[in-house]
Amino acid sequence: MKFSQRLVEKVVPLWQKNHVHPFVQGIGDGTLEKEKFRFYMIQDYLFLIDYAKLFAIGAVKAKDLVTMGKFAALLDATINEEMELHRQYANRFGISLNELEAAKPSPTTLAYTHYMLHVSQNGTLAELVSSLLPCMWSYWEIGKALNEREGADEHEFYGEWIKMYASDDFGKLALWCIDLLDELAVGKSESELDTLEEIFLNTTRFEYMFWEMSYNEAMWPTDV
């Protein structure tokens, strides 16, 4: 069995929770309150700034030029394609680029990105890929599931979001990361695989927490 299959078996119950989450369902049926999406989009922009850095660290840790080039392409796709979607939504909300970049991360955004940056800076390439994979993989699964709904990708507001994450281009990048992790897992000891699994599970949990945070527009629970 490929290592990625073992990972999926572990996280399927959590993925199912993502799929039925009211934030995700609201994007799918178009009923999500725009204010909640606005909050999400700003936090996600901040998230992606740090997330893109993981690909830069991946390029540093890569053992060959093909892998290095692929990480560079992932970095480029994140900041110039995925984040362009966010910039377009920001424009629709009347939020300037300066405002976007000056926004403050929520506790969940901080915890999630800092966890991945910590793993990536201190761990192996396989650990880095384990930490960043749930982000790409779970969004691709969500995008495809929402896209199966009649007319969802044509929704005047949420359609673009669905199209982005259901797209073959996005899927190909996710698949490349899955294949890379499968290759890197070959020959690893059971205890190393357990570590990879735990990292994958942790960032899968963070994905769920990100939906919760967005739905509740949760910033720090204190005024100061």
Give CA 151 to chain center in angstroms. Answer: 24
Which candidate, 105, 92, 1, places its Cα nearest to that of 45? 105
48 or 180: whose CB is closer to ligand NSP?
48
CB-closest chain residue to ligand NSP? 135
Q: Does 200 bind ligand NSP (CB under 6 A)?
A: no
Q: For residue 169, give both structure tokens.
A: 């281009």
Does position 210 interact with ligand NSP (CB under 6 A)? The reply is yes
Those residues with Cβ within 8 angstroms of residue 207's Cβ, 6 or more apart along the chain or in another chain:
14, 18, 134, 135, 138
Instruction: Give 93 or 188: the residue with its C-beta nearer to ligand NSP.
Output: 93
Helix 190-216, helix 22-29: angle, nearest 10: 60
Question: Please, which of residues 76-95 interact with ligand NSP by CB under 6 A?
Answer: 82
Residues 30-59 that bind ligand NSP (CB under 6 A): 44, 47-48
109-138 residues in contact with ligand NSP (CB under 6 A) are 135-136
Contact 162, 27 (CB under 8 A): yes
Query: Nearest distance from residue 190's CB to ligand NSP, in Å?
Result: 29
Please identify, using beta-carbon distances, which residue of 193 and 218 lies nearer to ligand NSP. Answer: 218
Catalytic residue at 127?
A: no
Q: Out of 84, 127, 207, 217, which one is annotated catalytic?
A: 207
**173, 74 in Cβ contact below 8 A?**
yes
Binding flags for ligand NSP, 131-170, as an x/- string (CB under 6 A) = ----xx--x-------------------------------
Phi/psi at 177 (5° precision): -65, -40
CA distance 209 to 146: 20
Active site residues: 207
For binding to ligand NSP (CB under 6 A), which residues are involved?
Answer: 44, 47-48, 82, 135-136, 139, 207, 210
